[in-house]
Structure 1
Amino acid sequence: MFATSGWFLWALLSAVFAALTAIFAKVGIKGVDSDLATLIRTGIIGLVLSLFVALTGKWSNPLALPGKTWLFLGLSGVATGISWACYFRALQIGEASKVAPVDKFSLVLVAVFAFAFLGERPALREWCGIALIAGGVLVLAWKR
């Protein structure tokens, strides 16, 4: 009934930690500029991932990577930084229970962009799930 492959477990863990990220960030940004908070968080992420890569023996020379890899990882990093800055600003002025679900509209955009640029073709069932997410965001955004 539910996906049991490895990707699903990792994606579920990602969702759990992303949820904790929103809660911890909402508490942590009280009285702190959201951009400074984002910088502090990013530095900690760099340290944690450096330790993870070192302790798991996954280090390799990044200078040996192809230019295309550097370009797209660089663009991804820029997009991540801008996304995080916007997310923390939204968390600072809004409720976490509203900000986080709207932020997840990115799921809908990923599906649309993957369709348009990567040639991915979700099945009708998957498009229905994507539409439900979009509908949920619209419900949250709807003013009373």
Structure 2
Amino acid sequence: MSVADTARGGSAAGALSMLGAMAIIGLIDNAVALISRDIGLWQFQLMRGILCLPMLWAASLAMRQPIRAVSLRAVTFRSVAVTIAMSLYFGALAFLPIEQALAGLFTSPIWILVLTAVALRRPVGRVRIAAVAVGFAGLIVVLEPDPATLSPVILMPALGGVFYAIGMIATNTICARETALTLLTGIILCQIVVSLAALALLGWVLPAGEGFLLRGWTWELGEAGLWLVIQAVGSLIGVGLIIRAYQLGEPSYIAPFEYAAFISGPFFAWLLFGHLPGLQQLLGIALIAAAGSLVALRMREAR
């Protein structure tokens, strides 16, 4: 078998791995809306993290891969950025349809381009600038911001996309020598610490309120218990498949397949809640996917 055939086979396997990951994520992200009925965001992240840690430890033993960080400062910075991104995204899932939350988070390739140009001072070219404009237009179309009823909630997923982009830039720069298990464990530990602090704040300093973001600790899990286990196991499998996808195929080829979440997410939303996106949301999703794919293809050509 030639090198070219091997590369094509690896790319195909990587694409299938990414599609599998997006199918799982489409389900478990919809589960957050079900979990939010019984417990709050911070209890959800804390309990999910506690469930994930033994599985990460078992994976470390099975793969004979150490979890200890090469640079604790770099891993901490990345973990904080991704934790903020995921908290904003999960928080938005309790209030917004999944296609709107996904649209905000999946602007991250566009934000990566913007931050690379501004912070790292790297040239981006006219085509990539056009991709940013198209992606931003798609975000506006999906979110449908109404100045008369504008709520901070609608901006949460887009802000999550910014912090997720910061985390991904850190992955390829200051965290390049870290293993996938180290980076994943860093995120889980950071989410546990942040969630403990938030729960303590809500319990002792501020009065706990109603709703996903302000709800304190509760012992009555209701149906959230089962979905928490599904979310924790699904998260690790999904992230593992994403990592495997990028190991098997060229990143610029694999990245556009992440937009399959725009299919699996709304599909499971329809299956669980009977919700379907409208034509305007579908148009916006297409614009965001086109912009992200264009950025990935231009990166491929540059290489």
- Scaled by the length of structure 1, the TM-score of the pair is 0.71
1:90-132 Cα distance to aligned partner (Å, 9 max, x none): 567865x776665354234212321233210211111222333
SS in structure 2 of the partner of residue 121 of structure 1 = coil
SS in structure 2 of the partner of residue 64 of structure 1 = coil
- The 1:42–1:51 alpha-carbon spacing in structure 2 relative to 1, beyond 3 Å, is same
Give the structure 1 partner of residue 202 of structure 2.
56
Describe how 1:74-113 pairs up with structure 2 within 5 A.
74-88=229-243, 102-113=257-268
Separation (CA, whole Å) in 2 of partners of 1:107 and 1:18: 17
Separation (CA, whole Å) in 2 of partners of 1:88 and 1:23: 16
Structure number with larger C-alpha Rg: 2
Uncovered stretches (5+) of structure 1, i.e. residues with no partner: none
Tell me the CA shift for residue 71 of structure 1: 0.7
Aligned length: 140
Separation (CA, whole Å) in 2 of partners of 1:83 and 1:19: 19
Describe how 1:66-77 pairs up with structure 2 within 5 A.
66=222, 68-77=223-232
- The 1:83–1:111 alpha-carbon spacing in structure 2 relative to 1, beyond 3 Å, is same
Separation (CA, whole Å) in 2 of partners of 1:22 and 1:78: 23
- The 1:44–1:98 alpha-carbon spacing in structure 2 relative to 1, beyond 3 Å, is farther
- Over aligned residues, Cα RMSD in angstroms? 3.3
The one-letter code matched in structure 1 to 2:267 is V
The one-letter code matched in structure 2 to 1:116 is L
Match for residue 180 of structure 2 among 34, 38, 56:
34
- Scaled by the length of structure 2, the TM-score of the pair is 0.38
State the structure with bigger RCO (CA 8 A, min sep 6), 1 or 2. 2
Give the structure 2 partner of residue 121 of structure 1.
276
Separation (CA, whole Å) in 2 of partners of 1:73 and 1:129: 31
2:155 is the counterpart of 1:9: yes
Percent identity between the aligned chains?
A: 24
Separation (CA, whole Å) in 1 of partners of 2:259 and 2:272: 20
SS in structure 2 of the partner of residue 128 of structure 1 = helix
Tell me the CA shift for residue 17 of structure 1: 1.6
Tell me the CA shift for residue 133 of structure 1: 4.0
Separation (CA, whole Å) in 2 of partners of 1:100 and 1:13: 20
Uncovered stretches (5+) of structure 2, i.e. residues with no partner: 1-139, 204-214
- The 1:28–1:36 alpha-carbon spacing in structure 2 relative to 1, beyond 3 Å, is same
Separation (CA, whole Å) in 2 of partners of 1:118 and 1:109: 14
